[in-house]
Structure 1
Amino acid sequence: MEKAASIDLKRDGKGMEDLSGRVHQLPCCVKHDGPASVSHYFKPKPAGVGDEGLPLQLAHFRGRLLQGTTLQLPHGFVLSKKTSPPSSQHSWDTNATFQDITYWNHDYVPSHNDELFRAFHWLSLAKAVKGGIMQYPPPSESDMGRQKAKTSKAIWMIQAPQTFYGSSSR
């Protein structure tokens, strides 16, 4: 059985390069992990605005047309939190940051329905949910020690700053 491993990502904030505008997610697999003259061959160009109001870019990679858009990363999220060191741990130092990412599609224009776009939308929703999910009405002390019957109804609410969103009973 394999042991669990983790990565300790150190960030001191000093002398880190800002890679904003230069981070791309391509719809392909590149089996190379060494240096490459990417900026010499990969040259995205602005292509106006798409039907959904997203700014479009065009580029070619290995002879195929790519259509992309740049997404701003949400603020306030942490890649990982430091925990007690397991038996197998690797230590990495952060040497660059970025505030946006350009993602590319092969056969279709970027859309609000793309998985990456929706994932970043979920991060914004998760930030609102971070305020807490509470059951209304709150369970009484006598309910704390025993499980409620499956037929009981509750309203679940997500607390965002100055907003409450309710859902139907289960």
Structure 2
Amino acid sequence: MTNVEVSRRVLDNPIQAETIQFMPFKIKFTGETEIEKRFNPETKENKEKGCLENSFRGYPLQGEATKLPAGYTGLVLDTGVRVFAGEKENIRAVKTFNEFNYWNYDRVPSDNDNLKQALQWTKVAEALHSLD
């Protein structure tokens, strides 16, 4: 079993949406990067398409700012390397967030995307649990 440790200080200080980027790919990188200097200045709003636009290594990205459902908090976890090998039992939350930027490759985010459907599922679960 893995335990997630979350301090009150981390919970009480969520970071800004533009700092959290949900990308449609995997990057083998540990540590922090300069999102504010390297990625954010290139993000533009396309009012015609109703989305944000940027690129990563030449691949076009289209995205939007997305809020978590009410009552939910996102966690940025410090897992280390060993947790993936099943060796680590405790990981800790280092940041929290209430909203983030969600990106697709060259496609405007829509309600048909898996992430959007997963976020809507919280409403379904809430409705099912309220039936007493």
Q: Distance in 1 between matches of 2:56 and 2:33?
A: 14
Equivalent pair of 2:62/2:103 in contact (CA under 8 Å): yes
**CA 1:119/1:46 → structure 2, altered by over 3 Å: closer, same or farther?**
same
Task: Quote how far apart the aligned CAs of 1:102 are.
Answer: 1.5
Q: Distance in 1 between matches of 2:65 and 2:129?
A: 26
Equivalent pair of 1:10/1:91 in contact (CA under 8 Å): no
Q: What's the TM-score once normalised by structure 2's chain length?
A: 0.73
Give the % identical residues: 26
Unaligned stretches of 5+ residues in structure 1: 80-87, 133-158, 160-170
Q: Distance in 2 between matches of 1:75 and 1:48?
A: 27
Q: Distance in 2 between matches of 1:14 and 1:109?
A: 32
**CA 1:125/1:49 → structure 2, altered by over 3 Å: closer, same or farther?**
farther
Q: How many residues align?
A: 116
Larger Rg: 1
Give the structure 2 partner of residue 6 of structure 1: 2
> Does residue 15 of structure 2 align to residue 39 of structure 1?
no
RMSD: 2.4
Task: Quote how far apart the aligned CAs of 1:7 are.
Answer: 2.0
C-alpha distance after superposition, 1:63-108 (max 9, x if no partner): 11100012110122478xxxxxxxx62152x342211121111131
**What secondary structure is seen at the aligned counterpart in 2 of 1:31?**
coil
Equivalent pair of 2:72/2:98 in contact (CA under 8 Å): no
Q: What's the TM-score once normalised by structure 1's chain length?
A: 0.59
> Does residue 66 of structure 2 align to residue 71 of structure 1?
yes
**What secondary structure is seen at the aligned counterpart in 2 of 1:122?**
helix
Letter in 2 for 1:10: V
Task: Quote how far apart the aligned CAs of 1:16 are.
Answer: 4.8
C-alpha distance after superposition, 1:113-132 (max 9, x if no partner): 11101111111121111113
Letter in 2 for 1:67: Q
Aligned mate of 1:25, from 22, 28, 31? 22
